[in-house]
Amino acid sequence: MKVFAKYIKLSPVAKAIIFAFLTFYSILTLFPLIWLVYNSVKTNNDFLANPFGLPQLSKLQLKNYYDAWVTMGIQRFTINSLIISSVSVIFSLIISSMAAYAIERMIWRSSQKVLNYFLSGIMVPIQIILIPLFINFKKLNLLDSRVGLLIPTVAFALPTSIFILTGFYKTIPRELEEAALIDGCSVYKIFYKIILPLTMPAFVTIAVFNFLGAWNDLLIPLVLIQTPEKMTLPVGLLNFRGMYGAELTKMFAAVVISAIPSIIIYFVLQDKLLKGMIAGAVKG
């Protein structure tokens, strides 16, 4: 990454201009978020009187956060989102690693065809399948249930996960498996004892990527979930914008709360996340 700047010698003036532009644009980008945060601790009246001004320190409304978390029920939505996102990540890791192993390491004729079949799913707009999914889930009594929400969430995570994992499995040397085979391991044992531990770095990338995907998803839970008790964060927020429309600064607090987990995940695991995004895009 550093290479480029080393070879292109820009004049100090040009560098200063670039730096000034980037600084200006970064403030422009971040300001809406900063505005959101400092307004989330104002009273509603203070906000309406002066939406641009900073809050007065003597009147900080930390109670907005308590109200959003407890009274408005952000707590429950966060727990729902955590459950759906975590469980769907676990399932997508198990199912996609098994499939990727069979495609990349097992020997059979149609493996590449099956891989392409999965990869074709990357491009499918989710709207297309929502109506049949809704109708069939209604018949199967899976509407408004966590299991029902998990099924499409995991399925839509499969194409990219399988793509990244097959790429990863290409790089594992065959000798490892041969040695295990000679020692009397079955393929199942090889997969479980040798391949899975080696897959951990790729798992972290896919897990972050899929977790954020499930965490941020709006459309699937919007269609499949109806009762507030089972809503995930995005749907819950949307639902509450209508209900608590007048209590704007509490709404701000709710939005800040639901943004925090994504931001934490990003700063802790950003290298893994970016890797997944770039890898996913290269196939794209």
3-state SS, residue 34: helix
Please give the Cα distance from 213 to 196 (Å, whole number). 23
**Cβ 149 to another protein shortest distance, Å:** 12
Please give the Cα distance from 239 to 148 (Å, whole number). 20
Nearer to another protein, 71 or 136 (CB): 136
Residue position matching structure tokens 């639902």 = 239
Is residue 126 within 8 Å of 156, Cβ to Cβ? yes
Please give the Cα distance from 138 to 78 (Å, whole number). 25
Nearer to another protein, 22 or 70 (CB): 22
Please give the Cα distance from 68 to 52 (Å, whole number). 22
| Amino acid occupying residue 89 | V
**Cβ 89 to another protein shortest distance, Å:** 15
Nearer to another protein, 20 or 60 (CB): 20
Please give the Cα distance from 66 to 250 (Å, whole number). 9
Please give the Cα distance from 123 to 14 (Å, whole number). 41
**Cβ 5 to another protein shortest distance, Å:** 5
**Cβ 229 to another protein shortest distance, Å:** 18
| Amino acid occupying residue 167 | G
Nearer to another protein, 57 or 128 (CB): 128
Nearer to another protein, 87 or 129 (CB): 129
**Cβ 10 to another protein shortest distance, Å:** 6
**Cβ 72 to another protein shortest distance, Å:** 13
Nearer to another protein, 62 or 94 (CB): 94
Backbone angles phi, psi at 175, to 5 degrees: -55, -35
